[in-house]
């Protein structure tokens, strides 16, 4: 049972920062592997990897050892100083990426990385206009928030001029269809840019997108879409920025989600997965773009830029990913997870769609047999999963609250995947059947 302090502290002392969502009712005492444990001793299987970040699970022994060793040796420096962990991580990340992505800077969060990438793109192109998806989430800092359309736009005054929304190529709920009733993403993309061109003042700088929209409902861009989007950018002198906060570093079964399409972005941002739950982000670009930005006075001087402690953690993350072949493991576990969810979909009519790649999977509910809307049903299933020992996450957007984002750690076991599926099965049966 929660004590009085734990029960009243959120209401009395904490700022509520999630908009629609409330804090979880239980206090988490510790976490290990694929599970978190409450102060009451309850275990919750973590099917969100913390905030979609802890790809190596919680308290991975090699991460723990790195933090203990590095914090005792070199934790933080003046931002103009360099350290061996930073130099090593820059070189090693470049080695995992195709040419010409060989220049890196390290920051703390995905929002900060996207802010730096947009700032760089505007400086290099001389433009200021930014295109992103209508259900995007790129962060809460100024430029990143202006490029975020899924939430947080109401009540804060005017957004910066020159931000345009592009329709989302959602195959389950297509906005534009072909003669067979399937998503016609090429026509949708053409129409999207016709509208952008009509509104642009001729100052297009960048297109910032995720290869798989996560907060937007786990929407995997159709094969061919990313290449067509790159061509639209090149025609207009724009830079293509890919935000792989949640898809980068083996989550989708490839080291980077863009590899499937053979499209190399002008700028790549990484965060969440790079630190495996610790605050580490990166901006990666070509030597040519970096030189142009430098020549024009690129400024992104922050307190924790290129800090040695998180960089050391990033090196350990790369060690474990490569040694344990976690890209292959993500594909294998993804097949197991997807197969189990497809089997649930065959037995639960409230499941409308299962989609995603590797260990980033979306499950969308379509409402209950009694007419319950999907948002309410999703919230009820989430609560019942938590009661049964499984932490799940639904998209916190009106009209999309029946879409689960399922992202277990890459280190999860087969048994943990099966246990999570069994709990979800029970929760669906008990909730949707009421």
Return the active site residues. 137, 210, 243, 246, 272, 405
CB of 132 within 8 A of CB of 144? no
Query: Tokens 């709990």 label which residue?
Result: 423
Q: How far apart are CA 140 and CA 146, in angstroms?
A: 8
Residues 6+ apart with CB under 8 A from 316: 62, 63, 66
Q: How far apart are CA 395 and CA 388, in angstroms?
A: 20
Q: How far apart are CA 286 and CA 276, in angstroms?
A: 25
CB of 238 within 8 A of CB of 117? no
Work out the burial of residue 235: count CB atoms within 10 Å of its CB; fewer than 13 is exposed, 13-18 middle, 19 or more buried.
exposed
Long-range pairs for 97-102 at CB < 8 Å and ≥24 separation?
97/256, 97/268, 97/284, 98/264, 99/264, 100/264, 100/286, 100/287, 100/288, 101/264, 101/265, 101/268, 101/284, 101/285, 101/286, 102/284, 102/286, 102/287
Phi-psi region for residue 278, left (φ > 0), alpha (ψ -120 to 50) or beta? beta
Work out the burial of residue 86: count CB atoms within 10 Å of its CB; fewer than 13 is exposed, 13-18 middle, 19 or more buried.
buried
Structure tokens at 59: 């308290």
Listed residue (116, 95, 99, 106) closest to 266, CA to CA: 99
**Cα 310-115-53 angle, rounded to 5 deg:** 45
Query: Tokens 């800092």 label which residue?
Result: 141
């Amino acid at each position: 049972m929660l004590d009085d302090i734990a029960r009243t502290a959120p209401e009395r002392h904490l700022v509520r920062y999630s908009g629609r969502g409330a804090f979880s009712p239980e206090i988490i005492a510790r976490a290990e592997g694929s599970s978190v444990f409450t102060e009451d001793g309850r275990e919750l299987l973590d099917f969100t990897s913390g905030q979609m970040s802890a790809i190596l699970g919680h308290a991975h022994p090699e991460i723990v050892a790195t933090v203990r060793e590095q914090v005792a040796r070199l934790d933080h420096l003046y931002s103009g100083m360099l350290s061996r962990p930073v130099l090593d991580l820059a070189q090693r990340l470049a080695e995992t990426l195709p040419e010409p992505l060989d220049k890196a800077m390290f920051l703390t969060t995905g929002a900060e990385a996207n802010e730096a990438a947009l700032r760089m793109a505007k400086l290099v192109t001389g433009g200021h206009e930014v295109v992103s998806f209508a259900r995007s989430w790129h962060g809460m800092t100024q430029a990143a928030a202006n490029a975020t359309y899924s939430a947080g736009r109401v009540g804060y005054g005017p957004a910066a001029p020159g931000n345009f929304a592009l329709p989302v190529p959602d195959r389950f709920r297509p906005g534009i269809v072909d003669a067979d009733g399937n998503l016609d993403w090429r026509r949708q993309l053409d129409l999207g840019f016709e509208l952008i061109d009509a509104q642009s003042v001729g100052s297009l700088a960048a297109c910032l997108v995720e290869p798989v929209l996560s907060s937007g409902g786990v929407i995997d861009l159709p094969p061919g879409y990313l290449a067509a989007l790159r061509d639209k950018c090149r025609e207009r002198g724009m830079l293509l920025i890919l935000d792989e906060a949640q898809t980068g570093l083996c989550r989708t079964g490839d080291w980077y989600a863009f590899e499937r399409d053979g499209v190399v972005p002008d700028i790549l941002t990484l965060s969440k997965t790079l630190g495996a739950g610790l605050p580490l982000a990166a901006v990666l670009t070509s030597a040519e773009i970096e030189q142009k930005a430098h020549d024009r006075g690129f400024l992104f001087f922050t307190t924790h830029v290129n800090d040695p402690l998180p960089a050391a953690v990033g090196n350990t993350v790369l060690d474990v990913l490569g040694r344990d072949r976690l890209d292959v493991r993500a594909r294998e576990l993804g097949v197991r997870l997807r197969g189990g969810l497809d089997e649930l979909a065959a037995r639960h009519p409230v499941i409308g769609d299962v989609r995603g790649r590797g260990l980033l999977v979306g499950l969308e509910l379509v409402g209950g047999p009694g007419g319950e809307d999907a948002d309410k049903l999703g919230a009820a299933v989430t609560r019942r999963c938590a009661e049964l020992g499984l932490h799940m996450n639904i998209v916190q957007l009106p009209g999309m609250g029946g879409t689960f984002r399922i992202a277990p750690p890459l280190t999860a076991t087969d048994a943990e995947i099966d246990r999570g599926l069994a709990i979800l099965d029970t929760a669906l049966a008990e909730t949707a059947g009421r």
